[in-house]
Amino acid sequence: MDSITPNEIDIVRASSSKINEIDFENLAFGNIFTDHMLMCDFRDGKWQKPTIKPYEPFLLDPSAKVFHYGQAIFEGMKAYKDESDDVWLFRPDENFRRFNASAKRMAMPEVPEDIFLGGLHEILKIEKEWVRKGKGNTLYIRPFMIAIGTGVIAAPSTQYRFMIILSPAKSYYSGEVKVIIAEHFSRAANGGIGAAKAAGNYSAQFYPTKLANDKGFQQIIWTDDATHTKLEEAGTMNVFFRINDTLFTAPTSERILDGVTRKSIISLAEREGIDIQVRSVLVAELVEAAKNGSLKEIFGAGTAAVVNPIVGFSYQDEYFELPKIENSVALKLKDKLTNIQYKLEEDTFGWTVKI
């Protein structure tokens, strides 16, 4: 998929660019947006003609379903620029697939490939200069869809809006990350929408995360809703544990997001000869490993942060500091993954797509 043809999309260029006003060396994640956005509405049972237009606010009726019943989904992706000034995407087909899986779970219409991927290629061609060279510089991509149909009856909307907005980014997290293992709150439940990238999944995390922040911790490692004995995700990321020389991560389920970075880390670990097991890890198992010294690393994995090492965790008011180690598996895998994304290393998996 290269792009949709010009007669299949309306393009309205911004009269001027704000790019020269941006300090690209000091970016707060997700606060600055590029000059253009893509918008496409679903009405009368079909998708309308997409438009790329200047980034701007838009009006919605106060009774729009998104405000009342939370029909809203999103994805997180990145664009990278190599040393030859070419722009690349990383596994965009996986984000497209997952977006439509989320849409289906939320009773929303699936977005056609030519609108999602084709429109993405087209807007990235326009905003190419916003993608800066250099490892660590990216253009964060936020495709999302909201219910814009009106009325407060509790039923799915009949009208939707699909959009893509772009934000130049550097590192998502900074500083050391300490976590609390959840004993009461849950991120998701069996039969729920935990496997969808639905907006409500994230807002439900804000209160327990605030409680953790008040205690001096940055994130929560979520546990299963039924017993709180199985470790599932870390904050907004999938989570990995290294016990001795084996990596562990929980299997995906209807509670756990099928992370693109997660599956890429698994494939890279297998290629590098690292022993990796996809199975449930028990809280008791982690605590015991921390006590006997066999727990070497914990790290989160996701699009925004890529790989984020965790320096310690708290459980039942007992804090366990992880050892300072050389030859970190987390950092090795992060380096391998980002080298592929920035075209500094051969992509033997066929993950990267040129714009």
Provide the pLDDT for residue 328: 93
Helix residue ranges per DSSP H, the chain: 65-69, 92-105, 113, 119-126, 199-214, 260-271, 283-292, 329-341
pTM score of the predicted model:
0.93
Give the CA count within 13 Å in the CB-facing half-sphere of 56. 10
Domains of the chain, by residue range, sit at 6-170, 178-341
Provide the pLDDT for residue 124: 97
One of 3.30.470.10, 3.40.140.10, 3.30.420.40, 3.30.420.140 is the CATH number of 6-170, namely 3.30.470.10
Question: Could you tell me the fold of the domain covering 178-341?
Answer: D-amino Acid Aminotransferase; Chain A, domain 2 (3.20.10)
Cα dihedral 300→170→211→280 (10° resolution): -10
Q: Detail the DSSP E strand segments found in 182-236.
A: 219-223, 230-234
Which pLDDT tens digits describe the chain residue by residue (355 residues)?
Answer: 445 555 589 999 999 999 999 999 888 888 999 999 999 999 999 999 999 999 999 999 999 999 999 999 999 999 999 999 999 999 999 999 999 999 999 999 999 999 999 999 999 999 999 999 999 899 999 999 999 999 999 999 999 999 999 999 987 666 789 999 999 999 988 899 999 999 999 999 999 999 999 999 999 999 999 999 999 998 889 999 999 999 999 999 888 889 999 999 999 999 999 999 999 999 999 999 999 999 999 999 998 889 999 999 999 999 999 999 888 999 999 999 999 999 999 999 999 999 9
